[in-house]
């Protein structure tokens, strides 16, 4: 019987994993300097946790089951409810602001397609305890910084809006009661045709004039500073929600200028986000060519902690999946080369030399170097072939001649240059990695 991995699940072989590891290291090395601390949490949670606030769509996508204790549990489809639960558990002792990151695997029963899988990794970066846009700007800055550090300048754009603003717009138009259907339609806007979109709005109960007015607001998108000025003229700022959403966006834009990152951000009132818990700023990151699914999604969710029985703690953050990111990096030619490498391979011409080979290997491994010895008793030619296949940088040869003089031959595999040295002197000359 031959087995294969399930549809929408991936295997990563060493060469593939080596490239991924480089990308992941770069991501973590970008997030840590901002003072985000790594957390980890279970892959399995009570299904109820997601019923409370994630929204219907995600519930239909869970890998859930009843466990042997008759509990309804699910593999996590997202991390936000879990981190919120963790904050509630220690909300008295955690120092504010709480700045956390993690990159767990998660599972969604979606139809596998380009950039959408059933198992994927998602980087989560969240700040709890900051009510103002200072935290929104910081998580956005981290997201932008990651994309820049990965060599994606010019390849991505963050699209930002605010749910309060859109809520206020609906209130001013007298259609606040149609919010759910209108938001759901807006969330689909770029996934369907213009006429399908208008049809959805009309099904939601909007007349032609209301649709026209909404479209003019949705279309005020563009570079964040200019687009905000344009949008101001279209809004009635007496509405409390509209005003607070708009002022928050203005402040956010000013902060992004201070981070020198405003050029990577657009205002786009069509960004509304599918998840139910967002209460203010919402944003998504897309490729500039507009060919791929969203790379990031995030926003402010000020009510979850309270809903989970904690004090009122505002929160903002994002999730970035690994799947679209990989597609974009490959397209931009910045996905690392998929190859493994080895600092030293110790070639022995007789099993008798194993003791010296292992002494040498252990001494080099102490210096954090990657070292392999021959574990299969192969001949010279086959050991050479294997050494090449694992990307050996330097070959150490222990042959009859070398062993007789307490020496080792050192062959640089790139230049082909070879010299012979005393084993101890060679070891002393090797620096820690």
Where along the sequence are the contacts to ligand HAM (CB under 6 A)?
Answer: 78-80, 108, 110, 116-117, 120, 122, 124, 126, 275, 294-298, 317-321, 323-324
CB of 84 to ligand HAM, least distance (A): 9
Looking at the Cβ atoms of 109 and 259, the one nearer to ligand HAM is 109
HSE-up of 270 (CA within 13 Å, CB side)? Answer: 19
CB of 119 to ligand HAM, least distance (A): 8
CB of 80 to ligand HAM, least distance (A): 4
Looking at the Cβ atoms of 115 and 168, the one nearer to ligand HAM is 115
Looking at the Cβ atoms of 31 and 323, the one nearer to ligand HAM is 323
Looking at the Cβ atoms of 84 and 364, the one nearer to ligand HAM is 84
Residue 351's contacts (CB-CB under 8 Å, 6 or more residues apart) are 377
Read off the tokens for 407.
Answer: 């020496």
- Which 8-state DSSP code applies to residue 33? G
CB closest to ligand HAM, residue no: 321
Read off the tokens for 88.
Answer: 């509630």
Read off the tokens for 85.
Answer: 């639960």
Looking at the Cβ atoms of 192 and 424, the one nearer to ligand HAM is 192
CB of 314 to ligand HAM, least distance (A): 12
CA angle 95, 96, 101 (to 5 degrees): 90
CB of 287 to ligand HAM, least distance (A): 11
CB of 101 to ligand HAM, least distance (A): 10
Task: Tell me the CA distances in angstroms from 324 to 59, 130, 341, one per residue in order.
Answer: 22, 30, 27
Read off the tokens for 148.
Answer: 């820049």
Looking at the Cβ atoms of 318 and 335, the one nearer to ligand HAM is 318
Q: Are 273 and 247 in contact (CB under 8 A)?
A: no
Read off the tokens for 202.
Answer: 């009309």
Read off the tokens for 122.
Answer: 């998602």
Which phi and psi (to 5°) does residue 429 adopt? -80, -10
Rounded CA separation 308/113 (Å): 34
């Amino acid at each position: 019987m031959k087995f294969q991995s399930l549809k929408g699940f991936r295997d990563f072989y060493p060469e593939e994993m080596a490239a991924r590891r480089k990308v992941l290291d770069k991501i973590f090395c970008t997030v840590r300097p901002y003072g985000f601390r790594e957390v980890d949490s279970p892959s399995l949670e009570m299904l109820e946790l997601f019923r409370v606030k994630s929204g219907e769509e995600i519930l239909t996508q869970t890998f859930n089951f009843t466990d042997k204790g008759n509990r309804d549990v699910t593999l996590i489809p997202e991390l936000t409810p879990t981190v919120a639960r963790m904050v509630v558990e220690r909300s008295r002792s955690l120092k504010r602001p709480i700045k956390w990151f993690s990159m767990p695997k998660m599972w969604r029963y979606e139809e596998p397609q380009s950039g959408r899988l059933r198992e994927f990794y998602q980087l989560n970066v969240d700040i709890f305890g900051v009510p103002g846009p200072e935290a929104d700007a910081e998580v956005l800055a981290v997201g932008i910084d990651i994309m820049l550090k990965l060599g994606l300048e010019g390849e991505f754009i963050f699209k930002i809006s605010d749910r309060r603003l859109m809520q206020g717009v609906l209130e001013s138009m007298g259609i606040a009661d149609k919010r759910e259907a209108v938001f759901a339609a807006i969330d689909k806007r770029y996934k369907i045709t213009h006429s399908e979109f208008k049809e959805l709005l009309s099904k939601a109960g909007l007349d032609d004039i209301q649709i026209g007015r909404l479209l003019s607001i949705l279309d005020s998108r563009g570079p964040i500073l200019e687009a905000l000025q344009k949008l101001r003229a279209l809004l009635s700022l007496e509405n409390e929600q509209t005003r607070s959403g708009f002022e928050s966006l203005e402040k956010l834009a000013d902060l992004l200028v201070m981070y020198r990152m405003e050029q990577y951000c657009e205002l786009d009132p069509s960004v509304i986000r599918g998840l139910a818990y967002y209460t203010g700023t919402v944003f998504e990151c897309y490729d500039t060519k507009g060919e791929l699914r969203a790379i990031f999604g995030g926003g402010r969710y000020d009510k979850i902690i309270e809903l989970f029985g904690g004090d009122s703690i505002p929160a903002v953050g994002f999730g970035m999946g690994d799947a679209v990111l990989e597609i974009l990096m490959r397209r931009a030619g910045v996905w690392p080369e998929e190859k493994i490498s080895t600092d030293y391979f110790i070639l022995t011409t007789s099993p008798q030399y194993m003791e010296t080979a292992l002494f040498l290997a252990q001494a080099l491994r102490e210096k954090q170097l990657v070292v392999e010895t021959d574990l299969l008793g192969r001949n010279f030619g086959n050991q050479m072939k294997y050494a090449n296949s694992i990307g050996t940088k330097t070959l150490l040869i222990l042959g009859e001649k070398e062993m007789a003089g307490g020496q080792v031959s050192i062959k640089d595999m790139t230049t082909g240059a070879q010299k012979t040295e005393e084993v101890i002197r060679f070891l002393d000359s090797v620096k820690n990695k």
